[in-house]
Amino acid sequence: MAAAFCALSLSALPAASVAQGRELPDFTELAERMSPTVVNIRTTERVRGAQGGGEVDEQMREFFRRFGIPLPNTPRRNAPPGTEEESMPQQRGVGSGFILSGDGYVMTNAHVVEGADEVIVTLTDQREFKAKIIGADRRTDVAVVKIDGNGFPSVKVGDTNKLKVGEWVVAIGSPFGLENTVTAGIVSAKQRDTGDYLPLIQTDVAINPGNSGGPLLNLRGEVVGINSQIYSRSGMFAGISFAIPIDEAMRVADQLRTVGRVVRGRIGVTIAPVTKDVAESIGLGKPAGALVQGVEEGGPAQKAGVEAGDIITKVDGRAVDKSGDLPRIIGNTKPGARTTLQVFRRGSTRDLVVTVAELEADQARRVSRAEPPASAPKTAIGLTVSDLTEAQRRELKVRGGVRVDLAEGAAARAGLREGDVILSIDNIEVTDARQFGAVVAKLDKSKSVSVMVRRGEWTNYVVIRPTK
């Protein structure tokens, strides 16, 4: 038997396995051709003081910034104790980027250049340039910088829509400051929901601090993404990395180059996912759309008639498959445009026309709040409720609803509590405590029932299940 194993040759393997082995990619030509388009980016900032704190390994600075960890104070080496260093530039971080055009426009991550007083771009031939920040967009983590000159080698932009799961991809960058490092892997997944405005590409390409802003390339040498994030408990590569799709990044870059900022649409709603239980209990069928938890007072959605508890299922006929789709669709809509929202409300759909406004940076939103007040008899589902006062209805901007004074049994297990305001039950709008009691009395006690609940500024659905 042992001899038989020893005699097994390549010719005895299935033809498909041999062919597959011969087809493993060779990255040498791609790396040689594309490396000159990839740059190293160093940033410096002027230290405002020199109080305490030890030195931080400069390759870890980007990791601190990327994951929101405060950067320790770093006094100049051998500086006299207590000396002010107002004018002393300190190296702040290291990252990567790639040249978009021969006239010196470079794309990178916003977090690479954020807060920098000086940006230094180094090419593979060791030429160094001081770069000007053209613009940066924190929401998508895309930035564009410019170096002076012409005739620079530039990348070719690929089509993210043609990118397939399982396809080989290559990253080139400066992990830990090690310039022009090439790593490879495959596309693990697409459309990963990790941000408000971007569905990211997930890969298993080795990405570490310093790779941020570098290109993700397909085997044709086309840029399909910007390496941006990793999933890790240690801060080092753990087999999962994320890239910004290049089509989304180019939309942002074009606006940064032309107007220096990104213009986005907004309608003034706070949203949440629609769960399977909620979808089934309210008659929606499948868990899709975006549940409106809150409506901005005086905002576009409120003016169009959108209410808390609505589920937005389509925008101009385009399906909202999951809640994260809504901010992306609206964000890409030109401010001032009239847009039709299809909403699901209490068992039926309706169309509402909204005029999209412009999203401003970190805009504060005022949302109506609910204040608790007074009591009535306990219902069969374990709720004691009371009418809202006129003042409370005006404050909440609701036509009806009842306040929960006590939640027991099935209602308590579902998460309802004192002070909650019930706006509808079983897709029936609640007008007052008496009508609420009549609706509950007619419910099938063996079936789950959906309740639309306002808590503070948010509206959500709660499913009350029968006691088994």
- Which of 413, 429, 428, 389 lies closest to 463 in space, CA to CA? 413
Closest CA to 177 of 208, 146, 136, 156: 208
Instruction: Give mean pLDDT, residues 288-301.
Output: 91
Note whether residue 179 is domain-resident. yes
Catalytic site includes residue 111? yes
What is the CATH number for 429? 2.30.42.10
In a domain, 4, yes or no: no
From the annotation, which residues make up the binding site? Answer: 111, 141, 210-212
Choose the final residue of a domain: 206, 229, 259. 259
Whether 212 is catalytic is yes
- Per-residue confidence band for 46, with pLDDT thresholds at 50, 70 and 90: low
Same domain, 134 and 165: no
pLDDT at 198 > cutoff 60:
yes
For the chain, the domain total comes to 4
User: Of the segments 102-111, 222-231, 319-328, 450-459, which one has the largest average pLDDT value?
Assistant: 102-111
- Annotated binding residues for substrate, written as ranges, equal 111, 141, 210-212
pLDDT reading at 54 higher than 80: no
Q: Kindly tell me if the per-residue pLDDT of 384 is higher than 50.
A: yes
Of 44-48, 103-107, 390-394, 464-468, give the range with the top mean pLDDT: 103-107
Q: So what's the pLDDT on residue 305?
A: 94
Rounded Cα gap, residues 34 and 129, in angstroms: 20
Query: What DSSP line would sit under 281-343, residue for residue?
Result: HHT--SS-SEEEEEEBTTSHHHHHT--TT-EEEEETTEE--STTHHHHHHHTSPTT-EEEEEE
Question: In the predicted model, is pLDDT for residue 5 greater than 60?
Answer: no
Amino acid identity for residue 396 in this structure: L
- Distance, C-alpha 236 to centroid of its chain: 21
Whether residues 321 and 253 share a domain: the answer is: no
pLDDT at 370 over 50: no
Which amino acid belongs to residue 324? G
Q: What is the pLDDT of residue 386?
A: 87
Domain membership flag for residue 27:
no
| Active-site choice (212, 228, 241, 424) | 212
Question: What mean pLDDT comes out for the span 327-342?
Answer: 92
Nearest to 207 by CA among 166, 160, 174: 174
Q: Is residue 2 part of a domain?
A: no
Q: Which pLDDT score, from 0 to 100, does residue 232 have?
A: 58
The reply to whether 58 and 140 lie within a common domain is yes
* Domain finish residue from 244, 259, 274: 259
Whether 164 and 198 have beta carbons less than 8 Å apart is answered as no
Q: If pLDDT is split at 50, 70 and 90, which confidence band does 81 have?
A: very low
Higher-confidence residue: 108 or 90?
108
Same-domain pairing of 111 and 196: no
Question: What percent of the chain is predicted at pLDDT more than 70?
Answer: 78
Contact status, residue 468 vs residue 447, Cβ threshold 8 Å: no
pLDDT tens-digit series, residues 343-352: 999 889 999 9
- Provide the residue range defining the domain that includes 287: 265-358
So what's the pLDDT on residue 399? 82
Same domain membership, residue 142 and residue 36 = yes
CA–CA distances in Å: residue 426 to residues 18, 385, 432, 433, 440: 61, 16, 15, 15, 9
Residue 98, domain CATH: 2.40.10.10
Same domain? For 232 and 298 the reply is no
Highest mean pLDDT among 94-103, 326-335, 427-436 belongs to: 94-103
Residue 12 has pLDDT above 60, yes or no: no
pLDDT value of residue 76? 44
Q: Is residue 311 part of a domain?
A: yes
One-letter amino acid of 51 = Q
pLDDT value for 351: 95
The length of the chain in residues reads 468
Task: Identify the bridge partners of residue 357 per DSSP, sorted by sequence position.
Answer: 266
For residue 354, which of 394, 295, 396 has the smallest C-alpha distance? 295
In a domain, 116, yes or no: yes
The angle subtended at Cα 380 by Cα 377 and Cα 386, nearest 5°, is 35
CA-nearest of 96, 54, 93 to 72 is 54
Q: Within a domain: residue 20? A: no
Q: Residue 113 gets which letter from DSSP?
A: H
Give pLDDT, residue 446.
80
For the question of whether the overall pTM of this predicted structure is more than 0.75, the answer is: no
Query: Which residues have a Cβ under 8 Å from the Cβ of 46 and sit 6 or more positions away?
Result: 86, 87, 88, 89, 90, 117
Domain boundary pick from 146, 171, 199: 146
